Amino acid sequence: MHKHLLVTVSDSPSSIDGGRFVGSFFRDKSCKLLENEALQNAGRFLEQSGFSTENTLCQYRIKAMSTAKDILREAERGKYDAVVLGRRGTTRLEEALGSSVSMQVLEKGRSVPIWICRRIASDRTGVLLCQDGSESSLVMADHVGFMLEGAEEHGVTLFHVPDKKSDGSGEIFSRAREALERNGIDASRIAEKEGDGRNVAKAIQKEAEGAGYAAVAVGYSGTGKQGLRSQLSIGSVSKKLCYDLKSHSLWIS
């Protein structure tokens, strides 16, 4: 089944990192991708990496609202499977103000999964699928299964960091496996691993760096408080990973 990706670019050199990730991650170049100089350069890069001209549509949009809102509106209008963003280094001031486009997109809405990409080694493979029992992490399991269906070069490692009150990872892994297999991922491509420690974000980073995954996939919220504030902002683990992951694509649903 074709995947429909919205790959965003700008005049910033880091914005092409989303296109670089897509070009190296998928061996099957049948994904459908969506003119100023930045668009022309991005289109040429994707075609050089193997995507056909017919599957690469470059569109220029004049800003109607904010950049983040325009991206989300285009994503909803085009019914994309994911929005792909490049991610430059974030200054302390940007972090304090939440002023980067990628953070604004995450904060404003999640009707479609967001991929935040830095420049990574092209030989990285596989997805670290982080699960915590929350509905958003299960939604991400379904997304990973859909995106990796047919991408046999990539395996999936289910990752959970249990706390002292947890009954273990068995049920959490079982539900995630079901979502993956429902999307056509063979059981032989799925592994399971538990992390440890109080700091979940650090445990995820340690596993990601040690095994050299291409992408880390998480739900935007955890199983903690579900009040209004929690619903309007991305979870602390997701936000920490967004700032600190340097060598992986971060997928957030």
Asked if the structure places residue 180 within a domain, the reply is yes
Largest pairwise CA distance in the chain? 54
pLDDT at 232: 38
Going from the C-alpha of 52 to that of each of 31, 122, 146, 153, 230, the distances in angstroms are 9, 20, 21, 20, 42
Interhelix angle 17-25/37-48, rounded to 10 degrees, is: 20
Tokens of residue 151, six digits: 């991408």
Same domain, yes or no, for 69 and 103? Answer: yes
Is 147 part of any domain? Answer: yes
> What confidence tens digit (pLDDT) does each residue in 56-82 have?
555 544 444 467 788 888 888 888 898
CA distances from 32 to 1, 11, 55 (A): 11, 22, 5
Taking each helix axis as running N to C, give the angle between helix 101-108 and helix 236-244, from 0 to 180 degrees, rounded to the nearest 10.
160
Q: Answer yes or no: do 12 and 78 share one domain.
A: yes
Considering the domain architecture, whether residues 165 and 242 belong to the same structural domain is answered as yes
Q: Which of 89, 117, 145 is the last residue of a domain?
A: 117
Here the CATH number for the domain that contains residue 110 is 3.40.50.620
In angstroms, rounded to a whole number, what is the distance separating the alpha carbons of residues 107 and 67? 13
Provide the token pair at 22: 């897509």
Please write the tens of the pLDDT for every residue from 170-188: 999 999 999 999 999 999 9
pLDDT band at 112 (very low <50, low <70, confident <90, very high): confident
CA distances from 160 to 38, 148, 197 (A): 39, 20, 11
Give a yes or no: residue 122 inside a domain. no
* Residue where a domain terminates, one of 85, 117, 149: 117
Q: What is the pLDDT of residue 37?
A: 42
Range of the domain at 235: 127-252
| Contact between 47 and 56 (Cβ < 8 Å) | yes
Predicted pLDDT of residue 92: 44
Task: For residues 134 and 110, state if they share a domain.
Answer: no
Predicted structure pTM score: 0.79
